[in-house]
Structure 1
Amino acid sequence: MNIWENIPKPIQNIGCLALEAMLLEANCAPAPGLVDRFNSGAHNDMDIYTFIKSSVALSSYMYNFAYMGYMHKGALDTLLAFIRPLGIEAEAAMFKATKGVNTQKGLIFLMGILCAAAGYVYRKYNIIKSTLVFDAVKIMCQGLVAKELGKLPNDRKLTSGERLYHQYGIRGIRGELEDGLPIIKDIALPAYKKAITLGATDDTLLIYTLLSIMTATEDTTIINRHNMETLATVQREAKALLESNQVLESGGFEEIKKLDKKFIEQWISPGGSADLLAATHFLYSLDEKYGSLTFMDETIKTGSPTCIAIKD
């Protein structure tokens, strides 16, 4: 018996695309302050091998997130609660693979939601377009900030997310998701596509997109390690590199290597931006493989599930 025969190819493959995105983000170099294939960035407890082990351990969970989204029959605003227990299991698998090191806890949250949303979108539309995924994520995560960060706990120490929200009003990745990921939609994906049209590939494409994200995101990894002033400096430096156009030119990585060295010395790690980079590549891949009208026509011809209407 073929256990896959009743599961559409896109749902089978979403986990693979998520794994690819996680590995590409971890490997692209030089990534200022981040673990990459050249060095461990501003980290002393992890390296590229830690990320490879972590990413592989998470790959089956990403498929399961997609499958749960695909099979979910309830309202879309109940999907996040439905996949939460799987997220907890994925965290445990990550820590087991890394011997207790937190490599991708934030990315589990972000990518898990995206995979589930992609599965849900395919079930409903027979197509997976990033625009539809953004809309689905927004409904999935409505009220998330108030629910998880709004009330001050009386019986425990504040988490870093709670502290930043109450101290600075920073909503972090929860706010991004609640808003439908505007940094990816309005900044990262356009930058990614622009770099492709200019002939960028591999490291150049990913680093250009990473810097574009760094200019705009309120990276909580940076703020937790340092402060708002450091974040503003990082945003300015990323913007200056982009405006110089050196990133897309031959030999342009020399200035990025200098920035990497500086971030390592100052212990600056734009980890939140790295998560958004992985998500950007993932969403671009979904658009390319499963987001066209041609793909929709082909799936209908081959007998994939027809569109169903689900009221939210």
Structure 2
Amino acid sequence: MRTLGLGLALVTMVAGCSTATDTDQGSSTTLSVVASTDVYGDIARQIAGDEADITSIISDPSADPHSYEANSRTQLALAKADVVIENGGGYDDFVDTMLKAAGNADVTVLNAVEISGRTAPAGGELNEHVWYDFPSIEKLTAQLVSTLSAKDPANAATFSANGTAFTTKLRQLESTEASIKSAHDGTAVAITEPVPLYLLEASGLVDKVPSAFSEAIEEGTDVPAKVLAETLELFSGKEVALLAYNAQTSGPETETVLAAAKAAGVAVVPVTETLPEGEDYLTWMAGNLSAIQTALG
């Protein structure tokens, strides 16, 4: 499992590393919310509205989140935060490392993986990409509403109303997944990494890529030649209907797979780990589902 920028070196904070701040930490709003990525930052924004400052540590849509390195501005934001939203599951361990150094005893940390209840399957690894799992985001939303309301009771009604509206839209996305499943249940697909796997599975689609391939790509290790050959045969044999391709991380093996899919006329659905430019969480996920529907025909 690759993680977002790790190591004690991040506590020393090198200058020049990117930190994205959605609003100024110096403003007078009651609450300060810090999210590890702009995915969770946007969800917090939709729930908190104007009643909190939201800082998203990682927000570059063209960057590989796994290569992130934190800086002193990130440390300061965490030191002042009322609420921190992290993914967990080993994805963004740098948040916990920095929080220990921040000495912020009053912060409430929401760990999306823990809240989701998702665990590793028997004999397998946890898929930590729970932001592609709408029931998990529903649970996170409910916990976020509860936490913000406890921190700022005067605006509890606002948080509750926003949470209800957001959850309603999440369920519309779940309805779209159900529609895809109704039309294409059991259809074979391919992935380069498990990033969108929860969404694909909820849509009734079955990943046929050898687990050794996607695990090697996620871990940043070499793919065995036999495993790569088995993966490429999925495309040359027209055994899969689409390839869900992580556009934020690439290497020789994933580029080879992408080329094979295109050569075979297999539809490619790019996916990302952070928000595409100009998108919010809901429009992003709606776009992912629309791309899958188009690819399946």
Compute the TM-score of the two structures, normalised by the length of structure 1.
0.28
Comparing both structures, which one devotes a greater share of its residues to strand?
Answer: 2
The normalised TM-score by structure 2 is 0.29
Using CA pairs below 8 Å that are at least 6 residues apart, which structure has the higher relative contact order?
1
Higher helix share: 1
